[in-house]
Amino acid sequence: MRLLRRTPLLLVAAAVLSAIAPCAALADDEMNLVVGPIESIGGAITVSYRVGQPFTPRLEETLLQGMPATVSFEVGLWKRRSFWFDKLVLAMRSEHKVVYDDWAKSFRIRSGQSPPQNRRAPDLDSLRNLLFAAHRIPVAAASMLDSTGTYYVSVRVTIRPVAVEDLGEIESWLAGESPGPDRAQGGIPRYLLGLAVNLSGLGDRTAIRKSERFAPARLEGTSSTSR
């Protein structure tokens, strides 16, 4: 009798778990981040990656209205270790600030520091191609790695709507490039003043993926065919 009484509860629990699992999988793959292939080219281990769906429709709308955002990529090279945590061999981070300039009808992108690199993208498609598709980024020199060890590369992408404390930096950047006719008193763009109080409904978008495992010695034999 106890088994019969528990059976409905088990069925209900199984149904709940089966309903939750697909949602979790969809949320994890929401941005469609793909990492790979890993290649050995000219003595360097390289990685390619792309983000298929970086923006939601709502985020696209707010970006086109002038809301600035920060896009960051964190790339890590890991060595696989049995019976212990994997070892982080090295890590790289890049950051890009993006804002739509309604006066110029294009996106402005500021990447890195000392000195920063300034670029433009005429529309969302160009912005996606410019920031969210990377090909053969050097990660490490093959000579630095254990040729027979097992490694993989992780990539994390984060899209963060601008915080209120970032508005001053964005304003200085825009004012320094081209003042334009839409500056409010004190130089702050009018659309930024309005956006400062309307950012709470947009959270960060983050995705992380790992590449397939690889051994540097095995990559060397495929580098010539991958070019």
Per-residue pLDDT of the chain (227 residues), as tens digits, is 333 443 333 333 333 223 333 333 233 468 999 999 999 999 999 999 999 999 999 889 888 888 888 999 999 999 999 888 999 999 999 999 998 888 889 999 999 877 889 999 999 999 999 999 999 999 999 999 999 999 999 999 999 887 655 666 666 666 665 545 554 444 445 555 455 445 545 678 999 999 999 999 998 655 544 44
Give the span between the Cα atoms of 226 and 219, in whole angstroms: 10
Which pLDDT score, from 0 to 100, does residue 38 have?
Answer: 96
- Residue 56's alpha-carbon distances to 25, 105, 157, in angstroms, are 17, 21, 15
Q: For residue 139, give the nearest of 77, 83, 194 by alpha carbon.
A: 77
Percentage with pLDDT > 90 across the chain:
51
Distance CA 128, CA 55 (A): 9
What does the pLDDT look like over 24-65, one tens digit per residue? 323 346 899 999 999 999 999 999 999 999 999 988 988 888
pTM for the full predicted model: 0.74
Residues whose CB is less than 8 angstroms from the CB of residue 71 and which lie 6 or more positions away in sequence, other chains included: 54, 95, 96, 97, 98, 131, 157, 158, 159, 160
Q: What share of the chain is helix, strand, coil (3-state, %, to 5)?
A: 35, 35, 30
Question: What is the rounded distance in angstroms from the CA atom of residue 171 to the CA atom of residue 108?
Answer: 12
Instruction: Concatenate the DSSP letters of all residues of 160-175 into one string.
Output: EEPPGGGHHHHHHHHH
How high is the pLDDT of residue 62?
85
* Contact status, residue 98 vs residue 109, Cβ threshold 8 Å: yes
